Structure 1
Amino acid sequence: MIRTIGFIGSGSIGGSLARLAVAAGLDVVMSNSRGPETLADLVAELGDHARAATPQEAAKAGDVVVATVPMSAYDKLPAGALAGKIVIDTMNYYPERDGRIAELDSGDITSSELLQRHLADSPVVKTVHNMDWIRLYSRARPAGTADRSALPVAGDDPAAKTEIIRLLAVLGYDAVDIGTLADSWRCEPGTPVSVWPYLGERPEGTTKEETQRWFREAPGEPVPTDRVKKLIDAAVRGPVGGTFAALPFWG
């Protein structure tokens, strides 16, 4: 049973997931590359179920661990401390931020497969990365709610996927198993299931500032299981890596 989630990376996505976890009664151990002291405000907001630690400590403390760092830092994750732990991969490859990664650009390996190779002793499960951090928190719903959304899940270890699907259910989401880490390209940036379906229709003719305000304030839309399946099936493999220009908060 998952009682504690470790976080390596405590930015927007990590913070939203941690808030959902605490709301569900779970404990969280937050970490980042700058040191536990820089997380004082976040931990204070999260309350008694949260504490700050180093990445090594968060890795050891978590029943599962969320890796939510830039893709360029994937090989800095503490493989030894993560051995035997399920690792949730929320990372996306953005060459503008991460630099070019030749193995990914070739299309021969997905970003999650690259992470799995680094974390050889940890089953990696790809999920959560295809929603923006605002809707990720605000669109969570109890099981059975009519407007509950689903998230794609990919992984090579069936038992690990089952465990994370159960965790997503607790956090407020249904799940669609889309296959192995090799299949995870179907929910990478630029694919039909990435970000936009959960946001809803973008207003036309808006300035950059108006678009960014809409992004902050939009309630979003439910994306149920059947729609996620259709969006996954519609994916066509194209150029690898996302672009910031395609992101709504970038304008």
Structure 2
Amino acid sequence: MTTAPQPHIAVLGAGHTGPILAKVLTEAGYAVSIAASGDPDRIALIMSFLAPDAKPRWAADAVAESDIVILALPLHRFGALDPAWFTGKTVIDTMNYWPPVDGVQDLFEDPDRGSSEIVRDRLPGATVVKSFNHIGYHELDDARRPAGAPDRRALGVAGDDPEAVELIATVLDRVGYDPITLMPLTAGRALQPGGPVFGADLTQDRFAEEIAS
């Protein structure tokens, strides 16, 4: 019996969240590339300490060699990305639009769309899901628990494509969280700042209750 190969994951962003994601993903057995906005040599030293098994790469190369791309960059940098890079990729949007922190950004000033819906529309060749945005980067590592642990934290994943949602749910589970799947992507508004589960440490049952309320 053969085992299906694990997807290669690219993390775009080497600030607070990106390196922690690279760490937990490599420790879960995934091959991970990580990229900042410029020369990968600039982040090589810090990554050797924070996530030594992740490979610093130029952003375009990291995306090209990946199956899954995680957007963990400052929101104001998103508009500069080339949408063509992401054609055929599954993209996890971890970003949040929070004007008190980010300032007003015209691209995301749309009351009729959540921020990940704007990301989806900006990347028409990609399959976009929303996840990892409603847990603090400082908790991503420490909050992990093995399957079946009574205090295992739940994280949501929202998207329009059932296969992509299930794929990322598998990633969440393998990293150390109980996945809650939400469809379509508009349901991911519950994961945004101000939503019922944003920043909340909830088990699977409590998470589902908060989403349903």
Q: Quick check: TM above 0.5?
A: yes
Query: Aligned equivalents of 1:63 and 1:177: distance in 2?
Result: 20
1:172 has 2:172 as partner: no
Aligned counterpart in structure 1 of residue 212 of structure 2, from 209, 218, 233: 233
> What value does the CA root-mean-square deviation take over the aligned residues?
1.6
Structure 1 residues 6 and 106 mapped into 2: Cα distance closer, same or farther (>3 Å)? closer
CA contact (8 A) 2:9 2:70 kept: yes
Matches for 1:115-134 after TM superposition, within 5 Å:
115-134=119-138
Q: How far off is 1:102 after superposition?
A: 4.5
Amino acid at match of 1:180: P
Query: Aligned equivalents of 2:54 and 2:106: distance in 1?
Result: 38
Q: Any unmatched runs of 5+ in structure 2?
A: none
Q: Secondary structure of 1:154's partner?
A: strand
Runs of 4+ aligned residues of structure 1 deviating over 6 Å after TM superposition are: none
Correspondence for 2:39: 35
Q: Secondary structure of 2:141's partner?
A: helix
Correspondence for 1:224: 203
Larger relative helix fraction: 1
Q: Any unmatched runs of 5+ in structure 1?
A: 199-222, 235-251
Structure 1 residues 103 and 230 mapped into 2: Cα distance closer, same or farther (>3 Å)? farther
Write out per-residue CA displacement over residues 58-89 of structure 1, whole angstroms, 9 at most, x where no aligned residue. Answer: 11122211011122222222322221010010
Correspondence for 1:99: 103
Structure 1 residues 103 and 62 mapped into 2: Cα distance closer, same or farther (>3 Å)? closer
Correspondence for 2:88: 84
Q: How far off is 1:4 after superposition?
A: 2.0
Query: Aligned equivalents of 2:149 and 2:71: distance in 1?
Result: 29
CA contact (8 A) 2:19 2:47 kept: no
Q: Secondary structure of 1:44's partner?
A: helix
Query: Aligned equivalents of 1:185 and 1:124: distance in 2?
Result: 14
1:62 has 2:70 as partner: no
Across the two proteins, how many residue pairs are aligned to each other? 208
Matches for 1:115-194 after TM superposition, within 5 Å:
115-194=119-198
Query: Aligned equivalents of 2:59 and 2:107: distance in 1?
Result: 26
Query: Aligned equivalents of 2:101 and 2:198: distance in 1?
Result: 18
